[in-house]
Amino acid sequence: MLPKWFNDWNRDRPADIYGPAILVGVAGAAIIVAAALVSLGQPAPTKAMQTGPAGTGMSQVEFVGEVTDVDPTLANYYTEAPYEVTGDEPLARDIYENVQVLGGLTEDNFNRVMLGITQWVAPEQGCAYCHGNGGLETYAEDNLYTKVVSRRMIEMTQNINEAWIGHVQSNAEVGVNCYTCHRGQNVPSDIWFRITPLGDTMEGWGAVQNRVTMQSQYTSLPSDALETYLLEDQPIGVHDFQSHVDSDPTDPNTATWQDAERTYSLMNYVSNSLGVNCTFCHNTRAFNDGGQVTPQWATDSLGIAMVKEINLDYLVPLKDVYPESRLGPVHGDAPKAACRTCHKGYQQPMQGLNAIADWPELATTGDPVYE
């Protein structure tokens, strides 16, 4: 029992003891949590990738759970190791008629590659997708556009793996094959067509922006960035950093604010295609300085150049081969590729799966090397 004077003191001079107690408790809990993180580590593991010179803080930190997210389309990927080649086997060109590509393969490996392409591109239709339903005696015919296109796509795949190693094998042997784009579909997802002008009520700048389109990544940015930079080969750039600069906007070497918006539209597309942000390639303190970019900037620059070649040398020339149903809805143009056609939202297509390990026939325009 407390003395009377103590009870009288507390009654006449009430004090809030709960506020300080809560404050002390929260501070104590924070100290305990901080000490636990220091001693035990981050409970949600992260993965950091150095993207620039050591000591500059240029790194990408991602939660491991996000990094290890598995591309669901990989579950249906078909692969088969090559058959042993002794050098005495007859070649496909000597056995079958009208073999214009892959003719230097042995019969077993030729049929293995044909099976792989079928599983990657037309698993439901099977061989008939390119060869028709007439039976083996009609396989040499080129009556179906799908066979003509497939032949050219094989040549394109071989060229990508041989001529663009700096992009498709920048970190390790990865390469591409038909499944990289098709993923079991006759027509790859994320192809694109020309759609500008976006209407017949406006001309000029107003006819290419402020519309929600896939090409603008559903923003108000210009919808002609893909055709401008991945088809017409226009220089990528932004306007001057100073205002009222003495320059001629009609000069093709002068970047205007419209060029800047197109560039942002393209960069937004690239970022979404790879599932990364701007700092994957750029240093935020100097986006414009090519001397302060990350190694990934060079890989991406090669990718842009590669896509231009794919479109101009392989895809666009096939316009007259396709039926009308395969052409663009506005201009009747051939389907074209861009970053997302392969990447599908991942930093590496098929998350870095080696697409040519079992398919050396698609890794070179010459005779394959079997190991």
- pLDDT tens for 237-266 read 887 777 777 777 778 778 888 888 999 999
pLDDT digits (tens, 9 = 90+) for 59-85: 666 655 555 678 899 999 999 999 999
Beta bridge partners of 49: 60
Residue 282 counted as an annotated binding residue: yes
Was 239 annotated as part of a binding site?
A: no
Is 1 annotated in a binding site? The answer is no
pLDDT at 228: 94
List of the chain residues with pLDDT < 70: 1, 6, 9, 16-19, 21, 37-68
Query: pTM higher than 0.85, yes or no?
Result: no
Q: Is 331 labeled as ligand-binding?
A: no
For residue 114, say whether it is annotated as part of any ligand binding site: yes
Domains and CATH numbers, the chain: 73-183+355-371 (1.10.468.10), 190-343 (1.10.468.10)
**Cβ proximity of 341 and 188 under 8 Å:** yes
* Look-up of token digits 């992009």: 167
Confirm or deny that 49 is annotated as ligand binding.
Answer: no
Tokens, residue 367 = 């005779």
Query: In this structure, are residues 249 and 239 in contact, taking their beta carbons and an 8 Å threshold?
Result: no
pLDDT at 31: 84
User: By C-alpha distance, which of 156, 187, 179 is closest to 356?
Assistant: 179
Closest CA to 296 of 137, 19, 60, 116: 60
Write down the pLDDT at residue 52.
63
Mean residue pLDDT across the chain = 87
- Give residue 56's pLDDT: 62
Give the contacts of 82 (CB within 8 A, at least 6 positions apart).
109, 112, 358, 359, 360, 361, 368, 370
What is the separation, in whole angstroms, between the first and last Cα of the chain?
A: 92
Q: Which of 19, 38, 24, 58 is nearest to 287 (CA)?
A: 58
pLDDT at 110: 96
Residue 135: per-residue pLDDT = 83
Q: How far apart are alpha carbons 249 and 218 in whole angstroms? A: 28
> Is 281 marked as a binding-site residue?
yes
167 labelled ligand-binding: yes
Which runs of consecutive H residues, i.e. helices, occur in the chain? 4-12, 18-40, 64-67, 92-95, 107-121, 128-131, 145-163, 165-168, 178-182, 225-230, 257-274, 295-309, 339-343
Q: Is 278 annotated as a binding residue?
A: yes
Look at residue 68 in the predicted model and tell me its pLDDT. Answer: 62
Task: From 224, 306, 212, select the one nearest 265 (Cα to Cα).
Answer: 224
d(CA 190, CA 214): 9
Q: Which helix (H) or strand (E) holds 47?
A: strand 46-50
Residue 214 among known ligand-binding residues: no
